[in-house]
Amino acid sequence: MSELREALATFDSDPGVGAMVLTGSEKAFAAGADIAEMQPLTFQSCYSQQFLGNWDAISRITKPVIAAVNGYALGGGCEVAMVCDIIYAGEKAQFGQPEIALGTLPGGGGHSETHQSHREEPRHGDDRHRREDVGSRGTLARTNQQGLPTESLVDEAIQLGERISGFSKIAVAMCKEAVNAAEQLPLNEGLKYEKKLFYSSFATDDRREGMTAFLEKRTPQWADC
């Protein structure tokens, strides 16, 4: 992020540059913040060192930034794409906020309907997609779906409930709180609130367990605290 911030600032101040394209590899635009780097962090270190302090730098760039997304755009990677002005998504692009599987929650705007991918929808409109996006990974095609078949609707809802029940309950509660806050607060306040909740998740046992389990390639054992 430091390198990205410096590069964007350099291009932003170059009069010969009119717009910027930000991309990754064919496999991944970005798979998120480095879990190995975050695993040992605590609430105290996140808060006092402002772990995400400079991650909003892209939003302060004055020239248009276009995200060209192939493959995974997950967690902070999805948030980076969403904070760009325009997203060009490849046919294999997959966007998602899977942080809840790590016992934490999105911390860089994932809860707020502020970004390019949501700009076509009214901010205070239907937020059910956003609620489903948190913790999911899906293709853009889903946004074009119109409704579920009557006969499978309840089964699908139960399956979703079961999937949610498989996550850390404290992380789910924090996610829900952040989504609710994003709905009620002005954007800048919603982003601040989300960041504080994200830091707070580093005080939970489940956040450490979630990231440790990812790095050890095993299923997390949630303690719900």
Q: Which residues bind ligand LOHRUJSQ (CB under 6 A)?
A: 31-36, 52, 55, 72, 74-76, 79-80, 83, 98-99, 102, 107-108
Which residue among 30, 99, 109, 178 is the active-site one?
99
Distance CA 176, CA 100 (A): 11
At its nearest, how many Å lie between ligand LOHRUJSQ and the CB of residue 149?
29
Question: By C-beta, is 82 or 127 nearer to ligand LOHRUJSQ?
Answer: 82
At its nearest, how many Å lie between ligand LOHRUJSQ and the CB of residue 215?
7
81 labelled catalytic: no
194 labelled catalytic: no
Provide the residue type at 15 as one letter. P
Sheet-wide strand order for 86-89: 20-23, 65-69, 86-89
**Paired tokens of 45:** 């270190």
183 labelled catalytic: no
Question: By C-beta, is 55 or 193 nearer to ligand LOHRUJSQ?
Answer: 55
Angle at 225 between CA 47 and CA 128, to 5 degrees: 80
Which residue among 24, 71, 76, 107 is the active-site one?
76
How far, CA to CA in Å, does 205 sit from each of 102, 107, 224?
11, 18, 8
